[in-house]
Structure 1
Amino acid sequence: MDKEQPLLEHLTELRRRIFWVLGVLVVGVVIGLIFAKRVILFLKSVPPADKIAWHVFSPWDALRLYMNFGMVVALLITLPVALYHIWAFVSPGLEKAEQRASILYIPGAVVLFLAGLAFGYFVVFPMAFFFTTAISHSMGITELYGAAQYFSFMFNIILPLSALFELPIVVMFLTKLRILNPLRLAKMRRYAYMVLVILSTVITPPDAISAILVSVPMILLYEFSVFLSRIIYRKQLVQDAAWEAEYGDQEEPDEQSEQAVK
């Protein structure tokens, strides 16, 4: 019974935090729906949407457009709250120094998500839009854009990029949990590059320049993640050495560990 009680307490706490996140998500959707019209009209007034006419092809398109914006705004509002509750749930198992360090992941994750949104909207989305438009013109096709389809096309580009920009935070967190380390990331570099190039090719127009413009920042983001992992791993080695010196036989770090901290 004593062993079951902590598990029940953890499950109760997890359920409470999930309810908090879902509640914030609902509030975010409401806020998004309130401001959706203003945001849509603003985006309609800036390139590339300012030069095209929007249409709806079914009575549900306008409602779907509102709901899409409501969900995106709710995602932006819920992200820091969800990250905080994840941190609060796992923080009792961390030391005080680790708690202070890990809570800094929350603003970092939000900033990186917004950076991904900006990169997707201002760089990748215009390239993809103008590329598809150029194909239509070359075939003598007159574009007739649906408002809901236009924004679905935009969200399908910028939201995956925003998720990819969370890579440094994910790598730092997994390194902190000792699941990843810079040695393992270095061995995975070749495959990571290949995956990032493939993803860049999928979400961009099928030409070399667009793929390069997206894949290069993705690769730099991966290398930045390796750099951050190396910093955390170096501190872990120092802490392990201090613990060994105080509580056990001090062992010399192996050759791989020495290479990782260089």
Structure 2
Amino acid sequence: MAEKAPKEMSFLDHLEELRWLLVRSTIAILVLASLSFFISDFIFEKILFGPKDPNFITYRFFCSISQSFGLEDVEICDAKMPFIIQNTSMGGQVSFLIWTCITAGFIIGFPYILWEVWKFISPALYAKEKKYAGAFVIVSSLLFFLGVLFGYFIITPLSVYFFGSFNASPEIVNEFNLESYTSMIKTSTIACGLLFELPIIIYFLTKMGLVSASFLRKYRKYALVIVLIVAAIITPPDVISQIIVTIPIMALYEISILISAVVGKKELMESTSK
């Protein structure tokens, strides 16, 4: 039978470890943010303002997919961005520069943050489970970066296209605040990155007995409805775009169910063998 780590930590010891986790992670993010400053022009022009370009790769991709299904008159093939981005506060651009670099530092440094998280939770794991530290960091990082790419190349441009081209009245001109525009991009990319951590989160929730495969199967249809509603809001008004957004998210949900079933079965076998 596997044994847990012999060292017992008090509540204050855990708080101290958590404090140093936050300190080291913050230092890593700030260092990477400082390095990101030297490529800030590329980050601004090619990444942040990339989805504003009508020739952005996502718009061309959706156009070609739609045309392959015989949909010739698709609005996204003639994407227009009739809006401007403006700064309305004295220190807006300075704040924009700082927080953009910090966001870049967080995304780049996410694997290190995961490693710190693993060191924090490892005392509560069995000795055989601690051997999977490398696998945990690698898999979690890959899922996060896949989510960031999905958020940036799928969710973000479709949201920019929808809100940028939407016009309730010809009398209204879209002039978006710099903070509003960049906040949407940052939120979409980081949120999708964290959303793609769902299989890892489900793994630990199942280990703690908080969720089960049967619970996830029971609420599968509700999850599908929510995803479809979100996809319908952020995508152009065609079924193909909605399906492309929905499939990866529901695939993650199904993978999470499978992981929960495997972990639950393993936990049951270990409990019966004791």
TM-score (norm 2): 0.72
2:143 counterpart residue number = 112
- CA shift, 1:22, in A, is 2.3
Q: Does 1:42 align with 2:46?
A: yes
Percent of residue pairs bearing the same amino acid type: 25
- By relative contact order (CA 8 Å, sep 6+), the higher-ranking structure is 2
1:131 counterpart residue number = 162
2:73 counterpart residue number = none
Q: How many residues align?
A: 239
CA contact (8 A) 2:148 2:190 kept: yes
Q: 1:24-103 residue pairs with structure 2 within 5 A?
A: 24-43=28-47, 46=50, 48-49=52-53, 55-101=86-132, 103=134
Which of 188, 194, 200 is the aligned partner of 2:225? 194
Q: Tell me the secondary structure at the aligned position of residue 27 of structure 1.
A: helix
- CA shift, 1:163, in A, is 2.0
Structure 2: unaligned runs, 5 residues or longer: 1-7, 56-80
The AA in structure 2 aligned to 1:175 is: T
| CA pair 84-45 structure 1, distance change in 2 beyond 3 A | closer
| CA distance in structure 2 between the partners assigned to 1:50 and 1:146 by the alignment | 20
| CA pair 176-125 structure 1, distance change in 2 beyond 3 A | same
CA contact (8 A) 1:32 1:72 kept: no
CA contact (8 A) 2:158 2:236 kept: no
- CA shift, 1:205, in A, is 4.4
- CA shift, 1:143, in A, is 4.9
Q: Which has the larger radius of gyration?
A: 1
- CA shift, 1:226, in A, is 0.7
CA contact (8 A) 1:24 1:77 kept: no
Structure 1: unaligned runs, 5 residues or longer: 245-262
| CA distance in structure 2 between the partners assigned to 1:132 and 1:181 by the alignment | 38
CA contact (8 A) 2:30 2:102 kept: no
Q: Tell me the secondary structure at the aligned position of residue 211 of structure 2.
A: coil
- CA shift, 1:28, in A, is 3.1
Higher helix share: 1
1:257 counterpart residue number = none
2:197 counterpart residue number = 166
Residues 207-216 or 124-133, more deviating: 207-216
TM-score (norm 1): 0.75
CA RMSD after TM alignment: 3.1
